[in-house]
Amino acid sequence: MSKDDFILKADGIHKSYRMGVAKVRVLKGVDLAVKKGEFVAIVGASGSGKSTLLHILGALDKPNKGVVKFEGRDLSRHSGSELNRFRNKMVGFVFQFYHLLDELSVLENVFLPVMVGKSVVGWFACRRWAKSRARGLLGQLGLSERAKHKPYQLSGGERQRVAIGRALMNEPRLLLADEPTGNLDSETGNGILEILEELNRLGQTIVMVTHDESIAQRAGRIVTLVDGKIEHKSIRA
Amino acid sequence: MYKIVLAFRYFLKRRITHFAVLAVALCVFIVVVVMTVMTGLVGDFKQKNHDFVGDCVVGTESLVGFAYYEEFVNILEEQKDFVEGVSPVIKSYALINRKGSERNEGLEIMGIEPLRHSRVTGFGKTLNYHKGDVSKTFEPAYDPNLLGCVLGVDVGRRLGNVMSPVRDADGEYFYESSPTPAGYSISCFPLTSRGALSKAGAGLVSTKTFYYSDTSRSGLARVDFSLVYLPFEWAQRLCGMDGSVKRASAVHIKFKPNVKLQAGCEKVASLWQKFKQRKAGERQAYLLDTVTVQNWKDYRRSSIAPMEKEQTVMAVMFAFVGITTVFIVLVVFYMIISHKSKDIGILKSIGVSNAGIMELFSGFAFLVGLLGSCVGLLGGWVFLLKINRIEDWLFEHFRFQLWDRTIFAIGDIPNQVNLKVLGVIVLSAIVACLVGALLPSLQAASSTPVDTLQVNQL
């Protein structure tokens, strides 16, 4: 396997937080490599540091020590504007609590990343394409009828599908999902996992964080995080 | 583009925003109304002083006056390029007694040539009976052969003349159709050029009886309450300034319309310096040392300054209103942004920069400031348009007046809005909102996405 096959590589990631006078070491030297087109599940108990790791991988947070490379480029060497561009174009986030903007409609929430990535003139030049792509994504996610609704008018599962649509809007190379089913009932959660599986089948690289082993089983590879370290790796047969 | 869209959505959807808009609108309303009224009052007061004085005054505060004024008047009248008119004036104090009354009042007298003085100042327009023919100002209608005097509009009452014009609660004066005959005995202490009593040992005072021919309403309370205009020659004689070298107290000057005040005054000052040097060896040249050349603003500084000070105090007070607005907006934005911390995290997670967050909330603050100031401006404008009718109504129903017209020399409440002032107020309101939103916006921009998304599961 050549090193170019890895879309994401984390080496010796350390992260600690201050909690009052105490210093809590969350990650204690995590190594992780994700290949293009892979579906990786990071499993661990609550407090094991899996969400922290996901945020570091997506450049939402910075490690105290260690290197994260995306397509061979060290993220710590990115400038502020390059990191913003990275978050806008290269990765898509799906959060446990959906995190949609209540002031925007479902359709607007989905095409928001395109709007963020463009200037006023740029947006006017591509807005038809963006709206059309957003409608297409909503169609694929079974939300065509909900385009004009506001997020608070949707069910939990529908909101998470909107969040997935938003994450996919800029065709990111990496999809990061933080407990995407954690706030949903099992049936709805299963629907979301099916969507993620389908996306992966179409070539989308996905890193998902979950505390639920059964959900992790749906991924191609499972990484177990225990006490801030990768303890166990398994590959689905 | 997302900044514009989100700023508008936050602006429209957040109810707390409406309170911020209301706070800004109220502040703008108050400032517009009070500043317009104050600016109007000060402007009106300045204009009345300008009308009373003319553009420039060459004169002395000394009761002795200064000599050779006629020559200087001639020099000024030759300056056709910038001088419109010149009027020599005698100013002094006198004891005045209305004939048939025991009452004596110490008043100011001003000796003028009415036609000349009207060309230089607004004197002609202040008269009641001689507006159309100023040359006959000192000819009482009831007997043109008598020597007339013009009383400040409130002087007659002060001297106990019940037939004098009376001011009603609306600030209007009611005049008789023609001046009622009344004689006033005016006594002055004539002074020599050295300031000594010129009639020492011969009764000391010069007294002459003048007859009421007209009233002058300058709109300046002190002038209307204490000034009596007399024919120039007679005032000069009463004050002892009619010796072999005649003297005057001041020369009032009006410049041509295209001449700037400062430039005109500088030219007059230069002429005066040359004149003074030329007269240096003359017998009464020492009197010229006390003479100053002043523009009307400096000449009336003692009257205008308190009013301007009041305006400055008001401006400072309203600066505090502005600061209050900043704090209101700051508090409102802190509340809004603390509610929106999740949105900030979401936006950052999809690539919005810190500057983008700042711009988004600044745009939001701009909308609050713009709408608030527009609402306040419109409300203030409408209120100002109706302010006199409102005051009339209040007076009619509750006998309430903002300014008691029997005391204050104003008519209508000034309500002419100054577009420049309005522009400054709107701009200040918007800046206040931006300043108020700055700190919360900065805080929002500097927050990390992980913190704002409140991801607490490690």
Contact A119 B1 (CB under 8 A): yes
β-sheet bridge partners, residue B149: B212
| Distance separating alpha carbons of residues A213 and A217, to the nearest angstrom | 6
Could you tell me which residues come within 8 angstroms of residue B35 by beta carbon, excluding any fewer than 6 positions away? B314, B315, B318, B421, B425
Q: Give residue B457's pLDDT.
A: 37
Exposure letters B192-214 (e unless 16+ CB within 10 A, then b): ebeeeebeeeeeeebebebbbbb
Q: Which residue has the higher pLDDT, B452 or A162?
A: A162
Q: How far is CA A52 from the centre of its chain?
A: 12
**Mean pLDDT value across residues A112-123:** 88
B342 near A CB under 8 A: yes
Rounded CA-CA distance B23/B335 in Å is 15
DSSP 8-state code for residue B127: B
Percent of chain B with pLDDT strictly greater than 70: 95
Per the CB < 8 Å rule, is B5 touching A108? yes
State the Cα–Cα distance between residues B215 and B161, nearest whole angstrom.
13
Q: Across chain A, how many H-helices and E-strands are there?
A: 7, 10
pLDDT of residue A1: 45
B400 at interface of A, judged by CB pairs closer than 8 A: no
Residues in chain B with pLDDT values less than 70: 169-171, 199-203, 404-409, 454-458
B199 near B106, Cβ under 8 Å? no
Write out chain B residues lying below 8 Å of A58, CB-based.
Answer: 349
pLDDT 10s digits, A24-60: 888 888 888 899 999 999 998 887 888 888 899 988 8
Q: Does A81 reach chain B within 8 Å, measured CB to CB?
A: yes
Our CA-based measurement puts residue B378 at a distance from the nearest CA of chain A, in whole angstroms, of: 29
What's the rounded Cα separation, in Å, for the pair B2 and A131? 14
Q: What is the pLDDT of residues A68-101, one digit of tens each?
A: 998 888 888 888 889 899 999 999 988 888 888 8
Tell me how far apart the alpha carbons of residues A15 and B349 are, in angstroms, rounded to a whole number.
20
**Chain centroid to CA B396: how far?**
28
DSSP for residue A38: -
In single-letter form, the type of residue at position B206 comes to S
Q: Does A45 touch chain B (CB under 8 A)?
A: no
Angle among Cα B11, B12, B17 to the nearest 5 degrees reads 50
Average pLDDT, chain A: 86
In this structure, are strands A205-210 and A174-178 parallel, antiparallel, or unpaired?
parallel
Give the residue from B428, B311, B432 showing the smallest Cα distance to B377: B428
The C-alpha of A1 sits at a distance from chain B's nearest C-alpha, in angstroms, of 32
Is the pLDDT reported for residue A4 higher than 60? Answer: no
Distance (Å, rounded) from C-alpha A206 to C-alpha A40?
A: 6
pLDDT at A237 over 60: no
**Ranges of each domain in chain B:** 2-47+304-452, 61-290
CA dist list (Å): B308 to A123, B51, B305, B403, B420: 53, 18, 5, 18, 18
> Contact at 8 Å (CB) between A103 and A152?
no
Taking the alpha carbons at both ends of chain B, their separation in whole angstroms is 35
Q: Which domains are assigned to chain A?
A: 3-68+78-235 (3.40.50.300)
Report the pLDDT value the prediction gives residue A236, as an integer from 0 to 100.
Answer: 59
ipTM > 0.85, yes or no = yes
DSSP type of residue B402: S
| Each residue's pLDDT tens digit, A190-215 | 888 888 888 888 888 999 998 888 88
Give the whole-angstrom CA distance, residue B358 versus residue B369.
16
Rounded to 5°, angle at Cα B303 from B299 and B304? 85
Specify the pTM.
Answer: 0.71
Token pair, residue B84, equals 């419109």
Helix (H) or strand (E) holding B45: helix B15-53
